């Protein structure tokens, strides 16, 4: 029995051969393979040069690293459809959050494809079903509640009240609001005369407003003049800070938006934010019988399908509206 076992034992000294094999595996087995970590560094550098947002780059770094660590992956060629699904299944988060992370990983992999590190976009077939989130617009009641608690004798609160009402009554974006100048306000004709320079669509637009806004804008602009004089500021913005400067120093730093968030928390008004005010404007017009094409034009949309997303209609509301045509 012992002799039979001995035939399976190699008695030759193979130390030298083992060393050669080790060198071979170290130098050749990973040749041509790209590490995920190295690919991520390269992609992030490309994004930085292209002027990508720091927040987007941070998300890439966070989610790609999490995926790599979660599935114990080192090289790009180890990434498979199965490994991506396993990563998604381990997440104890809402479907919407899972979808956001998947989109980030897919975007990274697509950049890797563009760099020639993948032959196919096998990840394109990976999807997550997410229930569509209904985003409601502000209502007349929301506006009334907020205006009732603001002190219009105080400059900042007068400014905020005017901003809220202007966005709700005209549907302009908060970015447009920040760049609004006195030349855009026609008090005699009660019109916003907006040129393409301050609009996302880049097309000029005329938007009417009512007597209440006419009075509030008139008072606000007079107050602005006194404040600019006091602090020796040279601008013609309609909405300014207490020191006479612009209310926005960047796309993500807008004083009015911050104030609206504060009011929403303080008074429990969930639909007091710039986008909800814009949606509320659209829904209010629809309820009053305005044509969809006119609403779309006022919002600066080039596609009616985008406008319809602003006009969420409850199924019971649709039924009642259709009855009128039977």
For the chain, domain boundaries: 36-125, 140-323
Least reliable range by pLDDT among 24-38, 86-100, 232-246:
24-38
Q: Token pair for residue 284?
A: 């209010």
**What value, to the nearest 5°, has the Cα angle with vertex 252 and ends 261 and 298?**
80
What confidence tens digit (pLDDT) does each residue in 88-116 have?
A: 999 998 888 899 999 999 999 999 999 99
Q: What pLDDT score was predicted for residue 318? A: 59
Cα(240)–Cα(221) distance, integer angstroms: 10
* pLDDT, greater one: 304 or 12: 304
Q: In Å, how far are 70, 124, 143, 162, 259 from 267, measured between CA atoms?
A: 42, 44, 12, 18, 12
Q: Is 174 exposed, middle or buried (0-12, 13-18, 19+ CB in 10 A)?
A: buried
> pLDDT digit string (tens) for 160-195?
999 999 999 999 999 999 999 999 999 999 999 999
> What is the pLDDT, as a whole number, of residue 311?
78
Residue 235 gets which letter from DSSP? -
Fold matches, 36-125 and 140-323:
no
The average pLDDT across 113-121 equals: 93
Q: Which among 260, 292, 287 is positioned nearest to 276, based on CA atoms?
A: 260
Tell me the CATH class for 140-323. mainly alpha
pLDDT for 27 equals 42
Least confident of 5-9, 75-79, 296-300: 5-9
pLDDT at 2 over 60: no
Q: Percent of the chain beyond pLDDT 70?
A: 85
pLDDT at 69: 95
Report H helices in the chain.
2-6, 15-28, 36-50, 54-70, 81-89, 95-114, 140-149, 155-170, 174-178, 211-231, 255-267, 274-287, 292-299, 304-310, 315-323
Structure-model confidence comparison of residues 29 and 142, the more confident one? 142
> Number of C-alpha atoms within 13 angstroms, CB side, residue 230?
11
Is the pTM of the predicted complex or chain greater than 0.85? Answer: no
- The CATH architecture to which 36-125 belongs is Orthogonal Bundle (1.10)
What percentage of the chain reaches a pLDDT higher than 90?
A: 65
pLDDT tens readout for residues 260-305: 999 999 998 888 999 999 999 999 998 888 888 899 999 998 888 7
* Selection from 259, 216, 260, 257 nearest residue 238 by Cα: 216
Q: How far apart (Å, rounded) are the C-alpha atoms in residues 110 and 117?
A: 10
> Which residues lie closer than 8 Å to 89 by C-beta, 6 or more apart?
none
Per-residue pLDDT, averaged over 35-42, amounts to: 95
Check pLDDT > 80 for residue 80.
yes
Round to whole Å and give the CA distance between 73 and 90. 15
Residue 253 pLDDT grade (very low, low, confident, very high; cuts 50, 70, 90): confident
Q: Give the pLDDT of residue 45.
A: 95
């Amino acid at each position: 029995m012992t002799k039979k076992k001995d035939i399976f034992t190699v008695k030759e000294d193979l130390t030298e051969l083992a060393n050669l094999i080790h060198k071979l595996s170290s130098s050749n087995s990973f040749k041509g393979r790209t590490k995920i970590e190295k690919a991520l560094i390269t992609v992030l550098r490309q994004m930085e040069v292209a002027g990508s947002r720091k927040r987007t780059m941070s998300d890439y770094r966070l989610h790609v690293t999490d995926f790599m660590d979660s599935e114990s992956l080192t090289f790009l060629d180890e990434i498979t459809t199965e490994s991506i699904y396993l990563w998604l299944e381990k997440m104890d988060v809402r479907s919407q959050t899972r979808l956001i992370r998947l989109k980030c990983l897919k975007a990274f992999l697509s950049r890797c494809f563009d760099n020639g590190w993948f032959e196919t976009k096998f990840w394109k077939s990976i999807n997550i079903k997410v229930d569509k989130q209904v985003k409601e617009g502000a209502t007349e009641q929301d506006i009334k509640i907020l205006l009732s608690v603001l002190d219009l004798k105080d400059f900042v609160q007068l400014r905020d009240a005017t901003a809220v009402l202007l966005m709700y009554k005209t549907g302009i974006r908060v970015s447009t609001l920040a760049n609004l100048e006195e030349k855009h306000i026609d008090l005699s004709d009660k019109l916003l005369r907006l040129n393409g320079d301050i609009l996302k669509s880049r097309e000029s637009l005329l938007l009417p407003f009512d007597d209440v806004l006419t009075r509030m804008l008139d008072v606000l602009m007079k107050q602005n003049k006194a404040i600019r004089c006091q602090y020796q500021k040279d601008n013609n913005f309609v909405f300014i800070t207490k020191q006479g400067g612009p209310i926005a120093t960047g796309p993500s730093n807008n004083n009015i938006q911050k104030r609206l968030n504060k009011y929403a928390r303080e008074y429990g008004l969930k639909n007091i934010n710039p986008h909800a005010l814009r949606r509320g404007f659209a829904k209010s017009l629809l309820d009053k019988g305005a044509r969809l094409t006119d609403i779309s034009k006022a919002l600066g949309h080039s596609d009616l399908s985008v406008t319809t997303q602003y006009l969420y209609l409850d199924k019971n509301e649709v039924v009642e509206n259709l009855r009128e045509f039977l």
